[in-house]
A and B are shown apart, each in its own frame.
Chain A
């Protein structure tokens, strides 16, 4: 029994290797569950848990439960594969994967609002600025009454917050929180 299971698993591994290059993950789950104990589905490569994959897994399990011992023919497999390929939506798949993959050697993914919130938080924590007067368009020197040394301290705080150096030529032009947000977004390539 164990030898039979291993033999079928070996045959499936070969076929799944051939198909792995061309097919999306959902069909791979379906293939691996064909004719074998459902515990094998733990072997599938771990991608983000997408609802379509879960649905196909559940559908495959239900099909297996309702039709025990029936081996699908080549035509049926081809139809199933083509149907899944047709339903594969690259745009939504890419947007979902972009949110869920974290590269721990890289910085956290930034967005414009996140940058804005971080800049305003750092400025509010600075004791020489009153938080009520602070908006995105307030000028540091004219509206908030700071001097150039305070401005240097603020730019240094931004460098520490976002983790990259701001050269002097650029720093003396960053006189409003909105300028700082735009500069950081330019440097980090955030366009939304």
Chain B
């Protein structure tokens, strides 16, 4: 039991993906946020989506808040890389309107919890 705790507490030295420390990872995240923030008015214009610039910015904030709790630097780097890939595809208009609108649609419907919703959904 004690040894398991010691192992869990020990810091694992692994090879970094992009950033060597937290400060660098933080800079990457903030730069990605800045780049997306500046690109959003052009996204709204190019793709002609039925959302306003403020709604898109709110959605950007939500997407970043989704991963607020992540502390592992390699995971943060991976998320930044994926965000940069999305940004590249959006900027170059390799995506289409549907791909952008996918950000605004939840793919999973939340399961009903109270009695009435379960009854209306058929006790599933």
* Interface of A toward B, CB cutoff 8 Å: 148-149, 152-153, 156, 168
Contact = CB atoms under 8 A, between A and B. Distances in A.
B88 interface: no
Interface string B42-79: 00000000000000000001001000000000000000
Interface stretch (B8-16, B31-39, B89-97, B99-107): B31-39
B64 A149 contact: yes
B30 A156 contact: no
Given A149-B61, A149-B64, A168 B30 contact: yes
B31 A149 contact: no
Interface of B: 26-27, 30-31, 33-34, 37-38, 61, 64
B37 A153 contact: yes
A159 B72 CA distance: 32
B27 A168 contact: yes
Contacts of A156: 34, 37-38
17 contacts: A148-B26, A148-B30, A149-B30, A149-B33, A149-B61, A149-B64, A152-B30, A152-B33, A152-B34, A152-B37, A153-B37, A156-B34, A156-B37, A156-B38, A168-B27, A168-B30, A168-B31
Given A152-B30, A152-B37, A156-B38, 14 more contacts: A148-B26, A148-B30, A149-B30, A149-B33, A149-B61, A149-B64, A152-B33, A152-B34, A153-B37, A156-B34, A156-B37, A168-B27, A168-B30, A168-B31
Nearest to B30: A152
Nearest to A168: B27
A132 to B, nearest CB: 24
Contacts of B64: 149
How would you classify the secondary structure of chain A's contact residues: helix, strand, loop or mixed? helix
A153 B31 CA distance: 11
B58 to A, nearest CB: 11
Contacts of B31: 168
Nearest to A151: B30
Nearest to A127: B54
B7 to A, nearest CB: 33
A168 B38 CA distance: 15
A153 B38 CA distance: 10
A149 B29 CA distance: 9
A149 B68 CA distance: 11
Contacts of A149: 30, 33, 61, 64
Contacts of B61: 149
